A = this chain, B = another copy of it.
Amino acid sequence: VIVATAVSLADSEGLEAVSIRRVAAALDARPMSIYSFAAIDRKEELMDLMVDDVCAELLLPEGLPQHWRDALHAVAVRTRAVLVRHPWWIELIGRHTLVGPNGMRYREQTLAAVADLEIDVSLKMALVTAVETYTVGQAALAVDTTGPVARQSRSCQDQRQADRSYQQTLISTGEFPHLARIGSAWPEAPADRERFFLLGLDWLLSGAKAALADSGRRPSTR
């Protein structure tokens, strides 16, 4: 209950708005009652619980496709969707390693996706890690500046304008020929970013499939 309000506070106002005092206030509780309650001795522990809480959303209730490639694809797409909803998650994941029960269920789900693959267990881990890595990276870089949070839409908009014109100034020095040529291909719209994400995910999965087929004891192209 308490971590749910912390999560929704982080969603709507950003991670820096999540303070022990504000969470307590949102619950109409006295500021310090959080410490007495629920095994939270430090703020970090609340963060741990928040991380694990969104891990529950990463689980695919309807189960996984049978082919490992489709399964990993589904997991990655789902994970990306969830992390877009909770942009603060990736700020936390560096320090707070996935350790709670929901995090472990997520790991279990991802491993189940490659369970049928007949390759070395270490290679399985590498494959799962690669996909997870790519997905988390996408979430880290794709923080949506057009999203609902967009702190103070007015000043944020101004900031983007200023950044843009500053970049134009730098480009006009001629130091960045390739950047200048890119121009409009820069991915800004969320739809573009999703297209890029899916493209790279396909490359990664295809490359892994080819490499595993080459080196596998049995080709296991299914």
Q: Is A146 an interface residue (CB 8 A)?
A: no
Closest to A88 in B: B94
Q: A29-41 interface mask toward B, CB cutoff 8 Å, 1 = contact, 0 = none?
A: 0000000000000
Residue of B125, B129, B167, B185 touching A104 (CB-CB under 8 A): B167
| Chain B residues with CB under 8 A of A132 | 137, 141
Secondary structure dominating the interface of A? helix
Of A20-28, A54-62, A203-211, which stretch is located at the interface? A203-211
Report the minimum CB–CB distance from A76 to chain B (whole Å): 11
Copy number in this complex? 2
Contact B112 A203 (CB under 8 A): no
Of chain B, the residue at the smallest CB distance from A134 is B134
User: Residues of B contacting A105 with CB < 8 Å?
Assistant: 175-176
> In A78-129, which residues have CB < 8 Å from any B CB?
87, 90-91, 93-95, 97, 99, 101, 104-105, 107-108, 111-112, 115, 121-122, 124-127, 129
Contact B101 A170 (CB under 8 A): yes
CB distance from A143 to the nearest CB of B (A): 5
**Is A187 a contact partner of B129 (Cβ separation < 8 A)?**
yes
Residues of B contacting A122 with CB < 8 Å? 185
Q: How many angstroms between the C-alpha atoms of A204 and B105 in the bound complex? A: 27
A129, A195, A203: most-surrounded residue (chain B CB, <10 A) = A203
Say whether A179 faces chain B, with CB atoms less than 8 Å apart.
yes
* Residue A19 CB within 8 A of the other chain: no
| Structural contact, A186 and B134, CB atoms closer than 8 A | no
Question: Can you list 7 A-B contacts with CB-CB less than 8 angstroms, sorted by A residue number?
Answer: A104-B167, A111-B178, A125-B196, A129-B200, A130-B204, A133-B138, A200-B204
Nearest 9 CB-CB pairings of A with B: A137-B137, A207-B207, A130-B200, A203-B207, A111-B178, A206-B207, A133-B137, A203-B208, A136-B137
List residues of chain A with CB under 8 Å of any chain B CB: 87, 90-91, 93-95, 97, 99, 101, 104-105, 107-108, 111-112, 115, 121-122, 124-127, 129-130, 132-138, 140-141, 143, 145, 163, 166-167, 170-171, 175-179, 181-182, 185-187, 195-197, 199-200, 202-208, 210-211
